[in-house]
């Protein structure tokens, strides 16, 4: 099975598809990512069925999942979009990760389920964007009402054209990062927040030390207190928020070297496991290491 085809969850399953950093400038974000050893996709403007979304992105495509870096498009007076306005408002709260997206095989089904569970989903959005190959990447996106998931923009995506995104030239990262492994959620009441995330995602919450763990068919979510995330990662935004995420590497040595060359705040947690605060162009924090060092259930 190709890497692109493997991104599509089978019927009845769910994956952690991607996270998004909201950033002020895509050029600066792309340069920071390249300095960290990633192959970065070209900038691409997003479209909805109603016209321009008001945002553009660059991405880091991984063998499992991807990382998105999303910026508002400079708007002419009176022509700003609600989507861009929400993105700017989120960036005023903190710099870093503001979006967690689950991959689903059935966007309409997720929308109906969220409606039944009183998450008041917005209408299904049909997103598209041109890629540098000329192919059009197409998606269906389901978003909960913002007040229902206060930690960030938490949503579902159904990929219609994964082959337009997961292309070989964007999968060869010199830093050996291969997978978006886990998303970190900061909450004042981790048990209550995890129960709500479980209700939203239809995943089963389980205790994990001082955290609550939700496991998808591929990928994980950990819910914990802000002070616990700050102790692990070096810093974390005030709850409710997305505190960061974990990346799996075949070997973390090259990424460790890149972080040190850039003068980033890097801490070794244990053998083959590190935490790093990201540069201002990206915001947020990573935990990264080998699959064994991350210690997540398979």
Residue 222 lies in a domain: yes
SS3 helix, strand, coil % of the chain, rounded to 5?
Answer: 25, 35, 35
Residue 80 lies in a domain: yes
pTM for the model stands at: 0.95
Domain with 166, as residue range(s), is 13-170
Q: What DSSP character marks residue 95?
A: S
Question: Are residues 147 and 50 both part of a single domain?
Answer: yes
Q: What DSSP character marks residue 170?
A: G
Question: Are residues 17 and 122 both part of a single domain?
Answer: yes
Question: Are residues 28 and 159 both part of a single domain?
Answer: yes
Q: How far apart are CA 130 and CA 159, in angstroms?
A: 14
CB 290: neighbour CB atoms within 10 A? Answer: 16
3-state SS class at 257: helix
CA 130 to chain centre: 21
Question: Are residues 52 and 107 both part of a single domain?
Answer: yes
In our burial notation (b when 16+ CB lie closer than 10 A, e otherwise), range 238-253 reads ebbbbbbbbbbbeebe
Among 278, 244, 284, 253, CA closest to 264: 278
CB within 8 Å of 256: residues ≥ 6 apart:
266, 274
pLDDT at 132: 86
Domain boundary residue among 136, 151, 170? 170
Domain boundary residue among 144, 170, 196? 170
Would you say 159 and 103 are in contact if contact means Cβ atoms under 8 Å apart?
Answer: yes
Residue 6 lies in a domain: no
Question: Are residues 20 and 159 both part of a single domain?
Answer: yes
Question: Are residues 78 and 18 both part of a single domain?
Answer: yes
Question: Are residues 32 and 155 both part of a single domain?
Answer: yes
pLDDT tens figures, 273-288:
999 999 999 999 999 9
Residue 4 lies in a domain: no
Residue 5 lies in a domain: no
Question: Are residues 166 and 184 both part of a single domain?
Answer: no
pLDDT at 258: 99
Question: Are residues 61 and 159 both part of a single domain?
Answer: yes
Question: Are residues 198 and 271 both part of a single domain?
Answer: yes
pLDDT at 282: 98
Count of domains for the chain = 2
Domain boundary residue among 143, 170, 197? 170
pLDDT at 30: 98
- From the number of C-beta atoms within 10 Å of its C-beta (0-12, 13-18, 19+), residue 193 rates as buried
Q: How far apart are CA 252 and CA 292, in angstroms?
A: 12
pLDDT at 75: 58
Question: Are residues 26 and 165 both part of a single domain?
Answer: yes
Would you say 223 and 5 are in contact if contact means Cβ atoms under 8 Å apart?
Answer: no
Question: Are residues 26 and 155 both part of a single domain?
Answer: yes
Point out the residues of the chain with pLDDT beneath 70.
75-79
Q: Report the CATH number at residue 265.
A: 3.10.180.10
pLDDT at 228: 98
pLDDT at 141: 96
pLDDT at 156: 98
CA 267 to chain centre: 22
pLDDT at 224: 99
pLDDT at 73: 83
pLDDT at 247: 99
Q: How far apart are CA 78 and CA 84, in angstroms?
A: 12
Residue 8 lies in a domain: no
């Amino acid at each position: 099975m190709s890497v692109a085809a493997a991104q599509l969850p089978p019927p009845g399953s769910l994956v952690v598809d991607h996270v998004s950093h909201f950033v002020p400038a895509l050029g600066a974000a792309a340069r920071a990512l390249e300095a960290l050893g990633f192959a970065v996709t070209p900038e691409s403007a997003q479209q909805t069925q109603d016209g321009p979304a008001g945002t553009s992105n660059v991405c880091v495509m991984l063998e499992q999942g991807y990382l998105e870096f999303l910026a508002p498009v400079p708007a002419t007076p009176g022509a700003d979009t609600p989507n861009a306005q929400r993105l700017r408002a989120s960036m005023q709260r903190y710099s870093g990760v503001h979006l967690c997206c689950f991959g689903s095989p059935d966007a309409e089904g997720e929308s109906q389920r969220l409606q039944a569970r009183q998450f008041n989903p917005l209408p299904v959005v049909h997103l598209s964007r041109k890629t540098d190959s000329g192919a059009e990447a197409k998606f269906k996106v389901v978003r909960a009402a913002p007040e229902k998931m206060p930690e960030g923009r938490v949503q579902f995506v159904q990929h219609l054209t994964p082959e337009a995104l997961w292309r070989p030239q964007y999968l060869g990262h010199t830093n050996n990062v291969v997978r978006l492994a886990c998303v970190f959620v900061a909450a004042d009441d981790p048990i209550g927040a995890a129960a709500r995330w479980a209700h939203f995602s239809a995943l089963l919450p389980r205790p994990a030390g001082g955290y609550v763990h939700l496991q998808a068919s591929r990928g994980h979510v950990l819910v914990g207190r802000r002070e616990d995330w700050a102790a692990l990662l070096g810093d974390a935004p005030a709850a409710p928020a997305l505190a960061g995420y974990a990346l799996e590497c075949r070997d973390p040595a090259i990424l460790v070297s890149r972080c040190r060359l850039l003068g980033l705040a890097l801490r070794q947690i244990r053998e083959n496991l590190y935490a790093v605060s990201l540069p201002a162009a990206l915001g947020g924090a990573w935990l990264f290491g080998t699959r064994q060092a991350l210690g997540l259930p398979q």
